[in-house]
Amino acid sequence: MDLELRHLRIVRAVADAGSVSKAASTLGLAQPALSAQLKRIERALGGTLFERDRLGARPTRLGELVLARARVLLPAAQELQDEAARFVTRPSPGFRIGATYGPVLGGLVDRLAAEHTVSTYTSWSARELASMVELGRLDYALVGACGDSGAPAGALLWDSISLDPVFVLVPERHPAAGEKEVELADLADEQWAVTPGDACFADCFAMACARAGFTPGTIYETDVATCAHLAQVGRAVALCQATHVPEPGLVMVPLAGAPLRWRQLLGRHPAAPDATWVLSHAKQAHLDSVRRNPVYSDWLVRNPSFGTAP
């Protein structure tokens, strides 16, 4: 006999009630039927789950193990069932969007919310967001990946929104602050600040530095505000997306030759609503962020072959 959720419910009911007879009453079953079912469960699991006497039923060591698992699995299964029901019966074409740090989410929400209900969820982990979409907890995931890498593995459908160069943030007093662009090799002696994530950017950065002839020194992996602060006080050079708007006291400088590139991706559940329409708005939101950034716009004029299309 294969173990099923209903068997775990029986084990939990007996433990909660403290006796087979009380559990039978709670479950709406005859006591002999419940006792017979419990024996079948015990045979399937290979041991006795409860010590039974005139005082009631107490879990054995095996019973405690099964009960501990049941108290985790049963609520999780119920949550999944409830979430699936909400997903299927959702009355309005709303959108649930998860995102890592990037330039698209704000503009996309602004566009979609004009006509639809929108909810958001943020995480540094692209894998977490992809998992939530696969489970039906989100409709879409906005994530980033190194320009040379493919779409994340898994069951989701992925579309490219854009491909952008990676720039650096330096304080206004930095020697590179007045330059149109800076060679990565000229920053070999710097310390670095980057935002976290579970993609391959750290490896891509290390390889770009190796091609430039050096190994990067200290790398501070932290949130956006701390990256900006470390750059402002001259503690580190911060790597940033080209659509980033510099904080006061900082200058964004392109890296010559675009040795690092970052791709914006939109992942979706196969049943996600209005996929083509949402992708179109995501691409437009990205273009809006490009137009708002004079450094990036100027760089694109000087590098027309790069573009921002995926």
47: domain CATH number? 1.10.10.10
Distance of alpha carbon 174 from alpha carbon 236, whole angstroms: 11
Torsion sign, CA atoms 28, 30, 35, 38: negative
pLDDT at 61 over 80: yes
Q: What is the domain extent for residue 13? A: 5-89
Is residue 135 domain-shared with residue 80, that is, in the same domain?
A: no
Is residue 240 domain-shared with residue 145, that is, in the same domain?
A: yes
Q: Any idea what the CATH number is for the domain that residue 146 is in?
A: 3.40.190.290
List pLDDT tens digits, range 134-175: 888 899 999 988 877 766 777 899 999 999 999 999 999 999
Is residue 23 domain-shared with residue 148, that is, in the same domain?
A: no
Domain total in the chain: 2
List pLDDT tens digits, range 184-231: 999 999 999 998 876 678 888 999 999 999 999 999 999 999 999 999
In sequence order, what are the residues at sequence separation of 6 or more whose Cβ sits closer than 8 angstroms to the Cβ of residue 61?
A: none
Domain end residue (candidates: 66, 89, 112)? 89
Is residue 105 domain-shared with residue 231, that is, in the same domain?
A: yes
Domain end residue (candidates: 59, 89, 119)? 89
Is residue 77 domain-shared with residue 221, that is, in the same domain?
A: no
Which residues on neighbouring strands pair with residue 250, listed in sequence order? 171
Is residue 21 domain-shared with residue 136, that is, in the same domain?
A: no
Domain end residue (candidates: 53, 72, 89)? 89
Q: Tell me the whole-structure pTM to 2 decimals.
A: 0.66
List pLDDT tens digits, range 91-135: 455 789 999 988 899 999 999 998 889 999 999 888 899 999 988
Of 71-85, 154-168, 173-187, 274-288, the range with the lowest mean pLDDT is 71-85
In sequence order, what are the residues at sequence separation of 6 or more whose Cβ sits closer than 8 angstroms to the Cβ of residue 301?
A: none
Q: What's the whole-number mean pLDDT along residues 275-281? A: 93
Of 54-58, 139-143, 178-182, 246-250, the range with the lowest mean pLDDT is 54-58
